[in-house]
Structure 1
Amino acid sequence: MTEPDWAAWHDAYDQPGSPLERRLRVVQRQVGAALDAGVTRVVSLCAGQGRDLLPVLAAHPRRDEVRARLVELDEHNVDVARSIAPEGVEVVCGDAALLGAYEGAAPANLVLVCGVFGNISDADVRRTIGLLPQLCAPGAAVVWTRSRRAPDLVPQICSWFADGGFEAVSTESGPGDDAYCVGTHRYLGPPVALEAGERMFTFVR
């Protein structure tokens, strides 16, 4: 199987009205709401060029208070993110599936898992959700995305979050055949120690 061009994948963000562009606006709105609520520590899995967080953070009045770690494996995307990352944001070139990549940055108040659940097996989606408490401070928000194309896994994802000690804050879906879901869940459980050697998922495409 040919490895996707993850740099070119970002081009759809620049196409007005594309599903990715619409999804990005919803994610950024949720990120902005979290920053408004006082978030100070952020981690982003498979962060790409940092578009979910960096433009919102740059324009936010509390940007100097926020510390973030973005983890991304594609070197070109890492370079792009580093070129626009403000002080306080660390962009790491590494495997975002490894919990050890977040040592020193977790527990966070905001965890971004965008563009992940559609590229891993259903079993790994469940496993990842089960391990997310290790990245979360109590009360942390997790913002995630998933396509709603059949078979629609979103209801099951929400159930897995509930099983893991999270409460639903919002789910917002886009229209049409390329419908997406942007979900936000809040962690209600206790602190959980980070097991650095654990792998959350493996990309399947």
Structure 2
Amino acid sequence: MDWHAWHENYTRTGSTYPLRLAAVQARIREELDRMPPGPLSIVSLCGGQGHDVVGALAGHPRAADTRVRLVELDPRNVEAAREAVRAAGLEHFEAIVGDAADTAHHAGAVPADIALVCGLFGNISHGDIERTVDHCTELVRQGGTVIWTRHREDPDAFPLICAWFEQRGFTRQWVSEPDAGYGVGVHRSTTAARPLTPGVRLFTFVGYDVLRAG
């Protein structure tokens, strides 16, 4: 999969990706709106070209308060994210080339107010999804929020992922309708963040095409 070219889905006629992107951006803005005054922080795992977080922050009144760390393995996507950040005039935005599965790349940026886990759960095994959900208790502070995505095609793992979050002290804030053509979930932590575990690999990015074929 060419993950740089994949981002063309956001402009492709008839694609549901623009709808998912709009839903994620709206949820980010809602979270920013509810946050009390003061510094905010966002971490974005496998953040791609930053369409979700850059689009949500551009023009938002809390943009100047918000520090972002975006972790993405493809250097072309990281450069595209940096260009988008410059074009939007955003400050305190760190886009780094790295494997988001390695907890070392999140050190110093967590626990955050918002963790974005978008475009990931459809490309890793169920075991790795649950492991990543478990470590979300390290990625966001108490009262912080995880915004995540996963397709709703059969077998639909969306209800299972919701259950995994809720078993770990997250409360469901919002989920997209099952027939929306995409899946977006918002879960808020009700427990104190655990310390970040160093040297842990959260997941292996397999790819939707491989998982579907299997």
TM-score higher than 0.5: yes
What code does the residue aligned with 2:201 have? R
Aligned equivalents of 2:152, 2:14: Cα separation in 1: 17
SS in 1 for 2:132: helix
What corresponds to 1:71 in structure 2? 71
SS in 1 for 2:101: coil
Note the 1:39-50 alignment, pairs <5 A. Answer: 40-50=40-50
Aligned equivalents of 2:194, 2:107: Cα separation in 1: 13
1:53-90 Cα shifts (integer Å, max 9, x gaps): 00211210111110010000001000000112221010
What corresponds to 1:161 in structure 2? 165
What code does the residue aligned with 2:35 have? G
- Of 64, 74, 94, which aligns to 2:98? 94
Aligned length: 200
Using structure 2 for the length normalisation, give the TM-score: 0.90
Note the 1:6-45 alignment, pairs <5 A. Answer: 6-38=3-35, 40-45=40-45
- Of 189, 193, 196, which aligns to 1:194? 196
Runs of 4+ with >4 A deviation: none
Is the contact between residue 139 and residue 193 of structure 2 (CA under 8 Å) also seen in structure 1? no
Deviates more, 1:140-149 or 1:16-25: 16-25
Per the TM alignment, residue 152 of structure 1 is displaced from its structure 2 partner at its CA by 0.4
Per the TM alignment, residue 174 of structure 1 is displaced from its structure 2 partner at its CA by 6.1
Per the TM alignment, residue 38 of structure 1 is displaced from its structure 2 partner at its CA by 1.9
SS in 2 for 1:161: helix
Aligned equivalents of 2:162, 2:141: Cα separation in 1: 19
What code does the residue aligned with 1:48 have? G
Unmatched segments (≥5 aa) in structure 2 = 208-214
Is the contact between residue 23 and residue 174 of structure 1 (CA under 8 Å) also seen in structure 2? no
Per the TM alignment, residue 173 of structure 1 is displaced from its structure 2 partner at its CA by 3.2
Aligned equivalents of 1:157, 1:175: Cα separation in 2: 17
Unmatched segments (≥5 aa) in structure 1 = none
SS in 2 for 1:105: coil
- Of 117, 126, 129, which aligns to 2:130? 126
Per the TM alignment, residue 196 of structure 1 is displaced from its structure 2 partner at its CA by 1.9
Per the TM alignment, residue 105 of structure 1 is displaced from its structure 2 partner at its CA by 0.7
- Structure number with the higher helix fraction is 2
Aligned equivalents of 1:91, 1:66: Cα separation in 2: 14
Aligned equivalents of 1:65, 1:21: Cα separation in 2: 27
Is the contact between residue 111 and residue 141 of structure 1 (CA under 8 Å) also seen in structure 2? yes
Using structure 1 for the length normalisation, give the TM-score: 0.94
Is the contact between residue 41 and residue 68 of structure 2 (CA under 8 Å) also seen in structure 1? yes
Aligned equivalents of 1:167, 1:16: Cα separation in 2: 35
Aligned equivalents of 2:203, 2:2: Cα separation in 1: 20
